[in-house]
Structure 1
Amino acid sequence: MTALSRLRLKWPILQAPMAGAQDETLALAVTAAGGLGGLPAGMLALEALDQALAAVEGQGPVNVNFFSHASPEPQPSRLEKWRALLAPYHEELGIAPPPPSDTPTRRPFDSDACAIVERHRPAVVSFHFGLPEAQLVERVKACGALVLSTATTVDEARWLEAHGADVVIAQGLEAGGHRGHFLSDDLSLQLPLASLLPRVVEAISLPVVATGGIGDPQGVRQALDLGAQAVQIGTALLCCPEASVRAVHRRALQDDEASTDITNVFSGRPARGIVNRAMRELGPLSDEVPDFPLAASALCELRAAHESRCSGDFSPLWAGQNRRHCREVPVAEQLQWLAGELEEQ
């Protein structure tokens, strides 16, 4: 029995945890439909994390996802320069900028979060940006959870295998949201999924999950044929009614003319989203942006003001390159369609 087969999924389909676009409703719908639901926890305060895990407990396997980045040192001069770059946009709308803040909007996995995981014992715990310290990984495993993490290169996949991961998620360059890299910031090292996946499968002995640009039954089948034991899908589920995507984001997902690019302007770390004004005029990649996750706070008033005007110009519109089948249908219907070329596991 492989690590993933322990979960007894009907379909080898994992839902990508998508912070800001979902809550436990989407995760539970995916699990109920035979996949593995994903619950993003990197932006939850401890009390909210406890409540979210209580809400999914006992309702089938769910993957709880955390960030494992290193918190940056204070950088007041960079934050002040970033606020100055944003000042003309506040003046344009006649709104005041938010007060200066170096409080991170995302927290890395720590002992306090681990204690909540130990209390609720989810089936799967996954990490983005590597793994936390070894002691925390062992505590997660001791409560019975499978440990997953994302690799964007073969070197990262090997590192994850050597440091305690049970399953590696191979993230192709097409994937939406934050890039999961952690060994190098050089984006030129990252490959499309069709190139990355077979290399990762060959390089490690762990089960591999494929993610990035998979949005139809043929893509699911192709990833499995290349050696993946399962696929992870995010964008193709964003328009399902169980997702909590904001209206401006949902409209952008359905705009056939919109393109995507990788940007750091919304959080300080590269992530793929639909191109908008902020990305065009401030990036898409800029050396002026403070380190992850400090950049986000200075944008909050601009985002809110534009969204109140039905504009996503300053919103992170995370999406993968393949949006052709991002449909407004229930999760169960979308999952059944995506699994159309598979036999039940």
Structure 2
Amino acid sequence: MPHDLFGTAVIAAPMAGGTSTPAFVGAVHRAGGLGFLAAGYKSVAAMQAEIRAARDAGTRFGMNVFVPDPAQLAPSAALLAELAEYRRQLGPDALRYGAELPAFRLDDDDQWQGKIDALLEDPVELVSFAFGLPGPDVVRSLQRAGSAVLATVTTAAEARQAAGQGVDALVVQHASAGGHSAAFLPAPAPFSAASIRQDGTTAELLAEVRSAVGLPLVAAGGVMDAAGLGAVLRAGAAAAQLGTAFLRTDESGARQLHKDALADPHFTRTRLTRAFTGRQARALENDFVRHHPGAPEAYPAIHHLTAPLRAAAAAAGDPERLNLWAGTGWRQAQPGPVAGVVARLLG
């Protein structure tokens, strides 16, 4: 049974960068699911505009916010040297399109405080966080304002820290999920190189987290159909959060180039990569991923550094240098209306 906090077993993941539009989230709501808007990469004003658009349409929704990492906003001399070397390695990619690589941007906290202030002034029903924890003061303030607070975790250790901050529920993200990993604690060996746990299944990770905390859990990673949804619900999830399953839908705001790549037999695997943003993310393996296996851990500096390359690749219709986020179940993603995806999941 879906938890009262969500009212459904199907949650559409917040997919930043233009995929999770108010129209997309509205379609999920009308189909019987719950969608999250994504504040990431947007200005405060743009986030507020999307909230108004969703409300005006009568949509039930949540809002996801990126938590900035202070260490990434004050890089060491060693990391700055790695960034300079990576910028040099990107030279041939820039030359291909006649693009100009920008100067390093090291101060971008994604307008963190402004977004929190806006959500306190004009609360939404659900606020989720990724890439870290907001802090107990922020959690309590949002709750007092009327919002339920969710934290995204990837291990039992992260879950315990999040529970200690008083959040209402957890999104438990397995490494099979597409897009960015929400991991914020170093993983124990042998997974420390990627800082992301990759063994087992989403249901098994869920069971581990369930044994560590007593909060409602949302399972994320690898859920593409009714069988996958049933597996995580039986493992104790209150709902499942899906992103890749919705990417090819009519209402998805993803680029058509991205949608087409998910159906292209040329792409045969996904891989975790820092090449596009400096943060581990799962994407279809294309030339850019293969050619830049050693990108430093420097988010969002690398996100800004590669932005002109990604824009140029999109304009040129070149999927080989675009960030084609995709989970391990990408082959099951289907075109058509959002309502069809939700119906197949719940049917």
Using structure 1 for the length normalisation, give the TM-score.
0.90
Corresponding position: 1:327 with 2:329: no
Q: For the residues of structure 2 that align with 1:298 and 1:290, how far apart are their CA atoms?
A: 13
Would the alpha carbon gap of residues 62 and 188 (structure 1) be closer, same or farther in structure 2, given more than 3 Å must change?
closer
Aligned residues: 332
* Offset from partner CA, 1:248-298 (integer Å, 9 cap, x none): 211111124431010011111101011111110011xx2x43511100222
- What is residue 88 of structure 2 aligned with on the other side? 84
Residue type at the aligned position of 1:259? R
Partner SS state of residue 96, structure 2: helix
Residue 123 (structure 2) aligned to one of 121, 124, 129:
121
Q: For the residues of structure 1 that align with 2:228 and 2:102, how far apart are their CA atoms?
A: 46
Q: 1:304 Cα shift?
A: 2.4
Q: For the residues of structure 2 that align with 1:188 and 1:70, how far apart are their CA atoms?
A: 17
- Conserved? CA contact 1:236–1:326, under 8 Å: yes
Q: For the residues of structure 1 that align with 2:198 and 2:260, how far apart are their CA atoms?
A: 29
Q: For the residues of structure 1 that align with 2:225 and 2:68, how far apart are their CA atoms?
A: 32
- Conserved? CA contact 2:20–2:36, under 8 Å: no
Corresponding position: 1:172 with 2:174: yes
Would the alpha carbon gap of residues 83 and 63 (structure 1) be closer, same or farther in structure 2, given more than 3 Å must change?
same
Corresponding position: 1:271 with 2:281: yes
Q: 1:207 Cα shift?
A: 0.7
Q: 1:81 Cα shift?
A: 2.2
Q: For the residues of structure 2 that align with 1:175 and 1:242, how far apart are their CA atoms?
A: 21
Would the alpha carbon gap of residues 148 and 316 (structure 1) be closer, same or farther in structure 2, given more than 3 Å must change?
same
- Conserved? CA contact 1:54–1:120, under 8 Å: no
Would the alpha carbon gap of residues 105 and 254 (structure 1) be closer, same or farther in structure 2, given more than 3 Å must change?
farther
- Conserved? CA contact 2:273–2:281, under 8 Å: yes
Corresponding position: 1:41 with 2:50: no
Residue type at the aligned position of 2:321? F
- Conserved? CA contact 1:67–1:108, under 8 Å: no
Q: 1:222 Cα shift?
A: 1.0
Would the alpha carbon gap of residues 25 and 60 (structure 1) be closer, same or farther in structure 2, given more than 3 Å must change?
closer
* Offset from partner CA, 1:121-153 (integer Å, 9 cap, x none): 211000002211222211111111111111111
Q: For the residues of structure 2 that align with 1:104 and 1:319, how far apart are their CA atoms?
A: 28
Would the alpha carbon gap of residues 333 and 189 (structure 1) be closer, same or farther in structure 2, given more than 3 Å must change?
closer
- Conserved? CA contact 1:109–1:132, under 8 Å: no
Q: 1:62 Cα shift?
A: 0.8
Would the alpha carbon gap of residues 188 and 102 (structure 1) be closer, same or farther in structure 2, given more than 3 Å must change?
closer
Corresponding position: 1:18 with 2:21: no
Q: 1:105 Cα shift?
A: 6.0
Q: For the residues of structure 2 that align with 1:38 and 1:251, how far apart are their CA atoms?
A: 24
Q: For the residues of structure 1 that align with 2:149 and 2:122, how far apart are their CA atoms?
A: 15
- What is residue 149 of structure 2 aligned with on the other side? 147
Q: 1:223 Cα shift?
A: 0.8
- What is residue 102 of structure 1 aligned with on the other side? 105
- Conserved? CA contact 2:68–2:109, under 8 Å: no
Q: 1:337 Cα shift?
A: 1.1
Q: For the residues of structure 2 that align with 1:246 and 1:171, how far apart are their CA atoms?
A: 24
Q: For the residues of structure 2 that align with 1:122 and 1:142, how far apart are their CA atoms?
A: 12
Q: For the residues of structure 2 that align with 1:138 and 1:61, how far apart are their CA atoms?
A: 22
Residue type at the aligned position of 2:184? F
Q: 1:120 Cα shift?
A: 2.8
* Offset from partner CA, 1:166-199 (integer Å, 9 cap, x none): 1111111211111111111523644431321111
Q: 1:245 Cα shift?
A: 1.0
Using structure 2 for the length normalisation, give the TM-score.
0.89
Residue type at the aligned position of 1:16? A
Greater shift after overlay, 321-330 or 180-189?
Answer: 180-189
- Conserved? CA contact 1:23–1:39, under 8 Å: yes
Q: For 1:1-345, what aligned pairs fall within 5 Å after superposition?
A: 4-7=3-6, 9=7, 11-20=8-17, 21-57=19-55, 59-71=58-70, 72=72, 73-74=74-75, 76-93=80-97, 95-103=98-106, 107=110, 109-110=112-113, 112-184=114-186, 186=192, 187=195, 189-191=197-199, 192-256=201-265, 257-283=267-293, 286=294, 288-289=295-296, 291-340=298-347
Q: For the residues of structure 2 that align with 1:120 and 1:29, how far apart are their CA atoms?
A: 23
Residue type at the aligned position of 1:275? E
Q: 1:63 Cα shift?
A: 1.3
